[in-house]
Structure 1
Amino acid sequence: MAQTLTLYNVQLPLIDKSKRYKITIKEGKYRSIDMQPERIDQTLTPFKQALQDLPNCSQIDLEGRIVLPSFVDIHTHLDKAFSLQAVPNKTGTLFEAIRNYSERAHLFTKEEIKQRVRREAIQSLSFGTTHIRSHVNFEMDTSVQLAIDNFQAVIEVKEELKDFIDIQIVPMFSKLFQRTDQEFAVIEEAIQLGVDGIGGAPHLMDFPAENIEIAMQLAIKHGKFVDLHVDENDDPAVCTIEELISKTAQYQLEGYVTAGHLCSLAAMEQMKADHIMEGMRRHQIHAVTLPGANMYLQGRQDSGIIRRGVTRIKELIGHGVSIATASDNVNDPFHPFGCGDMVQIGLLTAYAAHLASEEELLHVLKMMTTIPGRIYGLEHHDIKENAPANFVMTDAKDIYELFGTIAPTRYVFTKNRWLNGVKAEMMMSDKKLEALWNKTTEDSSLPI
């Protein structure tokens, strides 16, 4: 690319949506972020023209397009992506999804797992996601070799794609309290292969408290974070989050523990829920909501008013809990929809949590970018001087348009180069209609 890249007339809604900025990038870092006193109309390369040779353009007029820190998908399952045809889920319940996938896990080759991971990672990158934390099944009860092979498949794709996208790997360890010394040796082997964090779903185990404790002990022993599936259930009596808060305090792991899902929190009585959310804030436990999969899987046993399973997003924000939103599953028995697009996930979050004011939507954008960036462990994932230049640009010029259209066209910049994402165009066979559309979009007062 050009030695120095300067972008003019940039809209940075997470800084000030009413202003325009000039951004200078050199050697993969933001060198300056300058507010423009007014629109600069000097001779610049318009963005649509720059697209013809984007890597070699040094000064580009973005004409008010929105630029955001690149997306961070802090909770997904790359190894399961696109497995729906092989693993159906007729009831749509979480328990059938778990059972069916476990029963068919031995049928998937290592190469098939790699293809799934590769496809979903690259597809997510095209939509603007540059960092992914993937939970990975560890099917030790089916076969030790299967568990290691599938785990290695994800590690190999992580290495293959490291020049384009960053992936953290979190194995889903199960039944830790009941494992033999021989089985623990396998777990230790997996950790040595390249684990970033310790994962699992203790609320599904017979001894959830003991499983949480062992997970934390493993994390401390190996210097890893803890990221657990927590209380993915409609029943308010399912409440392992209390044990997670207690053990986080006991082991002094504040800031290193993440709780995904927290579905049952939504069904609890208010005083208990407030106590839990305050405990999460006090002990710096991160929360992740997974609105797509939770709305799909939860409430399946309800009639009349059906619970949707999404945690108390707005209340967690109000309590000061660090909460991100993420994709969870894509085209698999746990969630047949989705495509790895974090704007789609942000829209679902806004719908599910009644977040619709400008201030609230700006916070949703943070839940897709800067907040999960901090959970991921990125020291700087903001658009500010000297931070790594990782950003996604859309054709949207307004945050309501961004979510309303899901901003179908994306342009991704990361690792000191443009990695063009996805492009969508309106196509019309009628020439008059096409001319009228073009005339409308040429009016700079209207969204692109």
Structure 2
Amino acid sequence: MKSVLKIVNAALPLRDESALFTLSAEDGIWTAVERQAGAVEPSPATMTIDGWNGAMPAEGGALLLDAGALATLPAFIDAHMHLDKAFSLPKVGNVTGTLEEAVRNYSALVPGFTKDELKARMMRAALQAISFGSTTLRTHLDFHVRHGKEVALRTIEAALEVREALAPYATIQLFPMLPYYDLTEEALDTAAEALRMGVTGLGGAPHLSPEPKPDIDRVFELAEKHDCPIDLHADESDNPNIRTAAYIARKTLDYGWSGRVTAGHLCSLAAMADEDARPIISLLAEAGVGAVTLPGANLYLQGRHDRFPVRRGVTRVKELLAAGVPVAAASDNIHDPFHPFGRGDLLLIGLVTAYAAHMGSPADIREALRMITDYPAAVVGVRSGIEPGLAADFVVLDAATPEELLTMLPERRWVWRRGRCLRAAAPRAEWNGGALQSYWEDACERVSFRQGRD
């Protein structure tokens, strides 16, 4: 007997804001997405999601919920994280706040991190991201071969074990960062071993290399040999003359690797003149290279050597989107020497992206939400969405519109994976005294986020 999930009166703001929908799933797969003529009266067996405690029926049972016009989005996809570094700030400081000191300090302490410590940090960061609504995570992993093969593979082993443990709750993609300082045959052989162990693809930061082009060549050669995707930190610099993204795009075209290559950061695009940036953006679009912007970390790290004006490093988000490049907004680092803040909440990252990229119009706000749902799905190569035949991975949030989502950043969320609720929101806190609660409800009714939108 199939397990059935049916949700009525769901708002799908990225699909059609003029209607509510009935959503049906069987055994964790969407079977129907039906537009309602209006709000429907739920059956007596239907529970209001706002008062539901998250209890799932026995296998083969049916769960009927009334979403009450709350916003329902595809589950978030965090396309660029560093789970192994997360929460390492108490051990690894950064006095200057520069990228250079962060790299230097973290690298020096890597040999002392035990496998259990790495696993604990990854587990905490991943579970926190899942709790906020992300059920697909792509993490880059430090791969310090210069400290010895055992040190490099220790991180890989820890990540593989975390991925297996969390498989019921999230898809986790693993990308070891090939060293930029000395990409030797030994390093390449160790990377090949990591691929055989089960990592997803190959990463790196070739723009930091003294010879970026040969390093990029070696990464593509190894990726072709093992038929795996590539995700490179690209041009995380304020220097407008650093342009490895263009070479990465050309190699993507040469290898026919469209849709399988990602370039993260792309900060130097923001530092160069329009006439220099445009052809690089066009080349990325032609090659089918996905892009990831990391606004939290780059607002924090970039411009550290400037006086005034201070460059802030967030890439040309609007121009990339306009050219047809899928752009994901992602968490990057969490409470480590590269970025002391963050919590793995992509809704917060969507808001920071909107601030940094001047995305405040109604259309822009919806694009910011697609940058944490639809576009990262294309970047990381997964099928995602609220459509028949796709996995029922989604998040219901205590808000009605995109404007309300990015204004209120609601903590109350219901996170689902494969039709199973992973997190149900706690009941709303009650105001002390009925009068204050009444004032609140009356004010919310009179001042709606639906009013005045173009």
TM-score, normalising length from structure 1? 0.94
2:349 is the counterpart of 1:345 = yes
Rounded Cα–Cα distance in structure 1 between residues aligned with 2:242 and 2:55: 56
Change in Cα spacing, 1:322 to 1:435, as seen in structure 2 (3 Å) is closer
- Choose 419-428 or 121-130, whichever is displaced more: 419-428
Rounded Cα–Cα distance in structure 1 between residues aligned with 2:430 and 2:277: 50
Partner in structure 2 of residue 66 of structure 1: 71
Partner in structure 1 of residue 422 of structure 2: 419
**1:253-272 pair list within 5 angstroms:** 253-272=257-276
Amino acid at match of 2:6: T
Rounded Cα–Cα distance in structure 1 between residues aligned with 2:2 and 2:67: 17
**1:32-71 pair list within 5 angstroms:** 32-43=32-43, 44-51=46-53, 53=55, 55=57, 58-71=63-76
Equivalent of 1:403 in 395, 401, 406: 406
2:25 is the counterpart of 1:25 = yes
Rounded Cα–Cα distance in structure 2 between residues aligned with 1:336 and 1:422: 27
Equivalent of 1:237 in 230, 241, 260: 241
Rounded Cα–Cα distance in structure 1 between residues aligned with 2:36 and 2:430: 35
2:385 is the counterpart of 1:382 = yes
2:114 is the counterpart of 1:109 = yes
Equivalent of 1:312 in 313, 316, 320: 316
Rounded Cα–Cα distance in structure 2 between residues aligned with 1:11 and 1:432: 29
Change in Cα spacing, 1:277 to 1:186, as seen in structure 2 (3 Å) is same
SS of corresponding position for 1:118: helix
- For structure 2, the residue ranges without an aligned partner over 5 or more in a row are none
Amino acid at match of 2:278: D
Partner in structure 1 of residue 306 of structure 2: 302
C-alpha displacement at 1:424, in angstroms?
8.0
CA deviations over 1:383-413 (Å, ceiling 9, x no partner)? 1111111001101011111011112111111
Amino acid at match of 2:29: K
Rounded Cα–Cα distance in structure 1 between residues aligned with 2:272 and 2:93: 32
SS of corresponding position for 1:296: helix
SS of corresponding position for 1:51: coil
Amino acid at match of 1:391: F
Rounded Cα–Cα distance in structure 2 between residues aligned with 1:409 and 1:28: 22
C-alpha displacement at 1:41, in angstroms?
2.1
Change in Cα spacing, 1:13 to 1:178, as seen in structure 2 (3 Å) is closer
SS of corresponding position for 1:58: strand
**1:103-142 pair list within 5 angstroms:** 103-142=108-147
**1:360-379 pair list within 5 angstroms:** 360-378=364-382
CA deviations over 1:41-75 (Å, ceiling 9, x no partner)? 24442223333645476221111000000000000
Equivalent of 2:81 in 72, 76, 79: 76
CA deviations over 1:123-166 (Å, ceiling 9, x no partner)? 10000000000000001112221111111101111011111111
- Choose 404-413 or 164-173, whichever is displaced more: 404-413
2:214 is the counterpart of 1:210 = yes
CA deviations over 1:98-139 (Å, ceiling 9, x no partner)? 000001112211100000010111110000000000000001
Change in Cα spacing, 1:192 to 1:441, as seen in structure 2 (3 Å) is farther
- Choose 254-263 or 436-445, whichever is displaced more: 436-445
Pairs aligned (count): 445
Rounded Cα–Cα distance in structure 2 between residues aligned with 1:251 and 1:176: 25
C-alpha displacement at 1:423, in angstroms?
4.5
Amino acid at match of 1:415: R
Rounded Cα–Cα distance in structure 1 between residues aligned with 2:163 and 2:54: 31
2:327 is the counterpart of 1:323 = yes
Rounded Cα–Cα distance in structure 2 between residues aligned with 1:308 and 1:439: 40
C-alpha displacement at 1:92, in angstroms?
0.6
Partner in structure 2 of residue 10 of structure 1: 10
Equivalent of 2:159 in 139, 144, 154: 154
Rounded Cα–Cα distance in structure 1 between residues aligned with 2:55 and 2:293: 39
Change in Cα spacing, 1:164 to 1:42, as seen in structure 2 (3 Å) is closer
Is the Cα–Cα contact under 8 Å of residues 254 and 283 in structure 1 kept in the other structure?
yes
C-alpha displacement at 1:305, in angstroms?
1.9
Amino acid at match of 1:312: R
Rounded Cα–Cα distance in structure 2 between residues aligned with 1:31 and 1:49: 25
Change in Cα spacing, 1:424 to 1:403, as seen in structure 2 (3 Å) is farther
Rounded Cα–Cα distance in structure 2 between residues aligned with 1:326 and 1:262: 13
Rounded Cα–Cα distance in structure 2 between residues aligned with 1:38 and 1:178: 61
Change in Cα spacing, 1:52 to 1:74, as seen in structure 2 (3 Å) is closer
Aligned-residue CA RMSD (Å): 2.1
Is the Cα–Cα contact under 8 Å of residues 408 and 424 in structure 1 kept in the other structure?
no
Rounded Cα–Cα distance in structure 2 between residues aligned with 1:49 and 1:242: 52
Change in Cα spacing, 1:301 to 1:175, as seen in structure 2 (3 Å) is closer
CA deviations over 1:281-304 (Å, ceiling 9, x no partner)? 111111110000000000011122
CA deviations over 1:8-35 (Å, ceiling 9, x no partner)? 1100011101210011111111111110
**1:437-448 pair list within 5 angstroms:** 439-440=441-442, 443=445, 446=448
Rounded Cα–Cα distance in structure 1 between residues aligned with 2:54 and 2:304: 50
Partner in structure 1 of residue 178 of structure 2: 173
Rounded Cα–Cα distance in structure 2 between residues aligned with 1:46 and 1:422: 12
C-alpha displacement at 1:426, in angstroms?
4.7
Amino acid at match of 2:148: S
Change in Cα spacing, 1:90 to 1:427, as seen in structure 2 (3 Å) is farther
SS of corresponding position for 2:152: helix
- Choose 113-122 or 315-324, whichever is displaced more: 315-324
SS of corresponding position for 1:435: helix
Partner in structure 2 of residue 185 of structure 1: 189
SS of corresponding position for 2:422: strand
